[in-house]
Structure 1
Amino acid sequence: MKRLAVYCGSASPEDPRYLELATEIGQGLAERGIGVVYGGGRLGLMGAVAKGAKDAGGEVIGVIPDALIKSEVANHDCDELIAVSGMHERKQRFTDLSDGFVTLPGGVGTMDELWEAMSWAQLGYHSDPVGLLNAFGFFDDLISFNAKMAAVGFVRPAHQNILISATDLPELLAKMESYTPHTPIFKMKAEDL
């Protein structure tokens, strides 16, 4: 994996562990020679990931909608800052530029990015690993919900291992590196659906 898209919040929670985690993830990726593709913002966890990676000598590519550049939240310290027209184009660029996805704690936008990466993997728009860093138990309920969707039958057996979760970066990256792509819906026969 040469580059990973990192999805995370643009907010700065009161609990300092979240910003510290984001900085450590950016640093950890850079130290492993993995470039960061992220939302292009300078605030919150986003900004901390980028700063951690840059401070450790890593590559940082930001992808940000024009409207957010105009709001003066763009991080102009990125190696490359790509302006796009909107969120759909932003997520497509994340997919095009990355070899996988890592999701850190965040809010609605972060969840949108995670679920779309999973949905696109399930369909066959990409075959890259989709990682979830479950630091501090933040995603416990989401992991349980994903398991419930599978148990009820809304996630096919072939797609139940798309979401890769771990509680720390080394374990998550190891799991992502050993990920074997599944059979996407686009390649399944009607009787398999």
Structure 2
Amino acid sequence: MIRNITVYCSSSNHAPEAYFECARQLGKGMAERGIGLVFGGGNVGLMGCVSDAVMHNGGTVRGIIPRFLEEKEVAHYGISELFVVETMHERKMKLTEWGDAFVILPGGFGTLDELMEIITWKHLGHHRKPILLLNCNGFWEPLLSFFRRIAEEGMVGKNHDRYYTVCSTPEEVFGILETGDPQS
């Protein structure tokens, strides 16, 4: 059963509006289904947007932020719980532990780092949690093409795509989570 979803996404306020709308829909849908959000604890970009959507719709939000980012005044104090940790590694461990599934919205280097780590950990058998790439406006297509290339060139197995599921809409995410993850 999915009680909490860890969402990885951009902290940029300059992302296209379509990505913000996708984040709002995801957050609203989570709250409506009684699914809590676990996220990086920031009040900016898609992170702030998805957490605000969960909170505004009566949901629960747990954020984890390293002290150095809290001190830069990007911490989101308007959520259910905010945990301040010392390192990025500690943050990533809690994000991984506290979520029952992972949804990855568009993002930059940090989002890519988190995505690659949880895919690698799933590949190595460290977890069996669903990983869903929310492909807003085709954002993940270049990365998915790269994944196909590294499979074609023998860098990863041909069945690499069994570790994640690609979804086009938040509703598709919820449909997959409600019927069971085909990739676990």
TM range (shorter): over 0.9
Contact kept, 8 Å, 1:27 with 1:53, in 2: the verdict is: yes
How has the CA–CA distance of structure 1 residues 159 and 17 changed in structure 2, closer, same or farther, with 3 Å as cutoff? Answer: closer
Cα distance in 2 for partners of 1:160, 1:181 equals 8
1:178 aligns to what? 180
1:49 aligns to what? 50
Q: Specify the structure having the higher radius of gyration (Cα).
A: 1
1:169 deviates by 1.4
Cα distance in 2 for partners of 1:57, 1:161 equals 34
1:25 deviates by 1.2
1:89 aligns to what? 90
How has the CA–CA distance of structure 1 residues 123 and 111 changed in structure 2, closer, same or farther, with 3 Å as cutoff? Answer: same
Determine whether 1:113 maps to 2:98.
no
1:160 aligned counterpart, secondary structure: helix
Bigger relative contact order, structure 1 or 2 (CA pairs below 8 A, ≥6 apart) = 2
Q: Which deviates the most, 16-25 or 56-65? A: 16-25
Contact kept, 8 Å, 1:10 with 1:43, in 2: the verdict is: yes
2:8 aligns to what? 7
Code of the residue aligned with 1:160 in structure 2: it is D
- Per-residue CA deviation, residues 84-109 of structure 1 (Å, 9 max, x unaligned), is 11111111101110101000011111
1:161 aligned counterpart, secondary structure: helix
Scaled by the length of structure 2, what TM-score is found? 0.92
Cα distance in 2 for partners of 1:104, 1:23 equals 11
Tell me, which stretches of 5 or more residues in structure 2 are unaligned?
none
How has the CA–CA distance of structure 1 residues 14 and 139 changed in structure 2, closer, same or farther, with 3 Å as cutoff? Answer: closer
Contact kept, 8 Å, 1:166 with 1:172, in 2: the verdict is: yes
Matched positions, count: 182
1:131 aligned counterpart, secondary structure: strand
Contact kept, 8 Å, 1:95 with 1:126, in 2: the verdict is: no
Code of the residue aligned with 1:34 in structure 2: it is I
Cα distance in 2 for partners of 1:40, 1:5 equals 11
1:188 aligns to what? none
Cα distance in 1 for partners of 2:99, 2:70 equals 22
1:186 aligns to what? none
Code of the residue aligned with 1:178 in structure 2: it is G
Scaled by the length of structure 1, what TM-score is found? 0.88
Contact kept, 8 Å, 2:54 with 2:61, in 1: the verdict is: yes
Cα distance in 2 for partners of 1:21, 1:85 equals 31
**RMSD value over aligned CA atoms?**
1.6
Q: Aligned residues: percent identity?
A: 41
1:181 deviates by 5.7
Q: Which deviates the most, 96-105 or 172-181? A: 172-181
Cα distance in 1 for partners of 2:15, 2:136 equals 16
**Where does structure 1 differ by over 4 angstroms across 4 or more consecutive aligned residues?**
none
1:171 deviates by 1.5
Code of the residue aligned with 2:60 in structure 1: it is E
Tell me, which stretches of 5 or more residues in structure 1 are unaligned?
183-193
